Amino acid sequence: MATAGSGEHFSSRFAFIMASVGFAVGLGNIWRFPYVTGENGGAAFVLVYLACAFCIGLPILIAELMIGRRGQGSPPRAVAAVARESGAGKGWGMIGGMGVLAAYTIEIVYSVVVGWVLWYLYKAITTGFVGVDAAAAEMVFSGVLQDNLGMLFWNLVGLALTGLIIYAGVQAGIERAVSVMMPLMFLLLLGLAVYNFFAGGFERAAQWLFTPDFSKLGWQSVLAAIGQAFFSLSVAMGGMMTYGSYLPKEISIARSAIVIVCADTVVALLAGLVIFPAVFNYGLDPAAGAGLIFQTLPVAFAQMPGGYLFSVVFFVILAVAGITSMVGLIESVNAWVEERFGIARHKSVVLVIGSIAVLSIISQLSYNTFSEFSLGGRNFNALLEDFCNLVLLPLGGVLIALFVGWVMKPAFSRDELSGLGSGGHTAWYTAVRYLVPPALLLIFVMGLAA
């Protein structure tokens, strides 16, 4: 039995980076980042985002990977092991536990949405959205939300694909899958962006994303940039800590983390150059939010030359982003279940996937049958999302920073981050001690106050 960090490892830095980028790049990157960028000053917001990503997101990402590799276990066990080694109590392991809980909670809702993506991929392949107008697109999506059997089927398909990848193990499953899926996603995104360059709307989309408008930058924009940088990198969800436990000692954590942050940003910007040329070219609403994917874009696919191929490729990209993110989320939970109950990987995968499948039924019913049931005006899905986004993730990030900055022995981080050099380590250590905690506390407080 291979438990987290004690058995299998990634065979190369490339495989590790592909797995980590796959985990970080999710559906939110594909539509939310470009939309938020356009609404908050375009290139001006991108500059603030990059500063936040490197000053706040990157230090936490490095910290998580370092804890995972140092502790050689699932997130709770890894943090507890590093705490004991530092002369602190094993109770610090709760930080890892929060990450595992966040991953599990997010997956209950996320798997349903990935199911929608797979369903739309099927629709793209079979119909290409031929003849679809705004009213028809809205009717199709409403039909999806009312069809519980259909949602359940595609949700189970997504979970089954994820389960098969994890079931096969770190190298034979996760590594093999992401080493094919992520380069494919990059190439397809690049191909669609090039297509848009010639098809129309590209210039306006580039202006939307890359022309600085500092008049739109305010305090709320800065907060949005901090939040986007933190959540976009998928930190405090246990997955990065778990992947860190699979990372060989000879691979530089810091260099790998920098590549992950850069790749995550490039994917998000490329997605903007794929989505918004079509939106602007066909007079659609760029502020359509989540509906952009399922209601707005199918209208563009129906009108554009080569729309059939474009729609299929686009939903393949989304499906890859969704599945690789699910792999990272579920693997962190699976690693903990393996260790906690002392069972083999194939048994823990069935247990974890099965329990998520059952609980996700409540999530899908919240879109129809249970839509009237709410607490404080929030349904089941909104409550789970708020619990993660407003509590577990920012609080988990603060605790990770406090742990590595004030509890873990500095000698351990110097050892794990030797490739940074003394100056680089000092910069990281200063950020994780004095910059990251107040920034994430601000997100936490503002989120609760909103």
Instruction: Please state the domain extents for the chain.
Output: 13-449
Strands (E), 255-391: none
pTM, full prediction: 0.94
Give dist(CA 400, CA 403) in Å, integer: 5
- In contact, 322 and 297? CB cutoff 8 Å: no
3-state secondary structure of 408: coil
Q: Where are the alpha helices (DSSP H) in 9-57?
A: 13-24, 27-39, 43-52
Burial grade of 279 (CB within 10 A; 0-12, 13-18, 19 or more): buried
CATH of domain 13-449: 1.10.4160
Q: What is the DSSP code string of 218-287?
A: -HHHHHHHHHHHHHHTTTTSSHHHHHHHTS-TTS-HHHHHHHHHHHHHHHHHHHHHHHHHHHHHTT--TT
Give dist(CA 177, CA 170) in Å, integer: 10
CB count in 10 Å sphere of residue 131: 9
**Residue 243 Ramachandran class (φ > 0 left, ψ -120 to 50 alpha, else beta):** alpha
Question: Residue 5: its pLDDT value, please?
Answer: 40
Give dist(CA 152, CA 289) in Å, integer: 24
* C-alpha dist (Å) from residue 302 to 124, 140, 258, 285, 314: 10, 14, 39, 16, 13
pLDDT tens by residue, 254-278: 999 999 999 999 999 999 999 989 8
Question: Residue 214: its pLDDT value, please?
Answer: 87
* Nearest CA-CA partner of 121 in 267, 264, 281, 301: 301
Weakly modelled stretches of the chain, pLDDT under 70: 1-7, 290, 450
* Nearest CA-CA partner of 391 in 99, 195, 173: 99
Give dist(CA 347, CA 336) in Å, integer: 13
Q: Record the tokens describing residue 129, joined without a space.
A: 């959205």
Q: What is the DSSP code string of 118-142?
A: HHHHHHHHHTTTTT--HHHHHHHHH
pLDDT tens by residue, 348-361: 999 999 999 999 99
73 DSSP assignment: S
Beta-carbon contacts of 383 under 8 Å, excluding residues fewer than 6 positions away, are 375
Give dist(CA 108, CA 104) in Å, integer: 7
- In contact, 67 and 253? CB cutoff 8 Å: no
Question: Residue 1: its pLDDT value, please?
Answer: 33
Question: Residue 2: its pLDDT value, please?
Answer: 39
8 DSSP assignment: -
Burial grade of 262 (CB within 10 A; 0-12, 13-18, 19 or more): middle
3-state secondary structure of 378: strand
pLDDT tens by residue, 295-318: 889 999 999 989 999 999 999 999
Rg of the chain over Cα atoms, rounded to whole angstroms, equals 21
